[in-house]
């Protein structure tokens, strides 16, 4: 079962805060005139390749290998006519965002998107978030 956790971005202090009790946080906000100085983000239940928890709003770097366009394929193997490596490393950045019908999805810089698959994160690492920037 997925662990339900939240963090908030404090827009006044420009810092991230972990919220252990969302009900306490909601009550706190109500007693402070319902201020909108906090942006709540939910934990996805996933971790990156380094064991870092992935939250909504996080930016991840994906490093994987894929066959080159001019590689040949037969019986489960790829090869190149000249004997060179038939694979190329692909590095992509994407951000985790809320989805209408599913929990979360990924959004790439070029506008592509896709639902999350837990096994995809074995090769990804959190490098920042939408508020604190990205450490490429």
- Find the farthest-apart pair of alpha carbons in the chain and give their distance in angstroms, rounded: 70
- The percent of the chain in helix, strand and coil, each rounded to the nearest 5, is 10, 50, 40
What pLDDT does 65 receive?
82
* pLDDT grade for 34, boundaries at 50, 70 and 90: low
Residue 33: is its pLDDT beyond 60?
Answer: no
Establish if 1 belongs to a structural domain. no
Question: pLDDT tens across 44-65, in order?
Answer: 888 899 999 999 999 999 887 8
* Domain count along the chain: 1
Establish if 125 belongs to a structural domain. yes
What pLDDT does 21 receive?
75
State the residue range of the domain holding 43: 6-134
Contact 63, 91 (CB under 8 A): yes
Q: How far apart are CA 106 and CA 25, in angstroms?
A: 27
Establish if 123 belongs to a structural domain. yes
* pLDDT grade for 121, boundaries at 50, 70 and 90: confident
- Sheet strand arrangement including 124-129: 113-115, 104-108, 87-98, 58-67, 124-129, 133-134
Question: pLDDT tens across 69-116, in order?
Answer: 888 888 888 888 888 888 988 888 899 988 776 678 888 888 888 877
């Amino acid at each position: 079962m997925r662990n339900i956790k939240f963090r908030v971005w404090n827009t006044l202090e420009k810092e991230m805060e972990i919220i252990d009790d969302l009900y306490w946080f909601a009550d706190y906000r109500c007693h402070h005139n319902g201020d909108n100085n906090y942006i709540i983000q939910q934990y996805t239940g996933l971790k990156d390749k380094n064991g870092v928890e992935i939250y909504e709003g996080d930016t991840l770097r994906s490093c994987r290998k894929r066959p080159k366009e001019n590689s040949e394929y037969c019986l489960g193997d790829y090869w190149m006519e000249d004997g060179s490596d038939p694979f190329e490393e692909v590095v992509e950045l994407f951000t985790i965002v809320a989805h209408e019908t599913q929990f979360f999805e990924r959004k790439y810089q070029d506008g592509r998107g896709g639902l999350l698959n837990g096994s995809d994160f074995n090769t990804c690492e959190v490098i920042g978030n939408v508020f604190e920037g990205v450490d490429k």
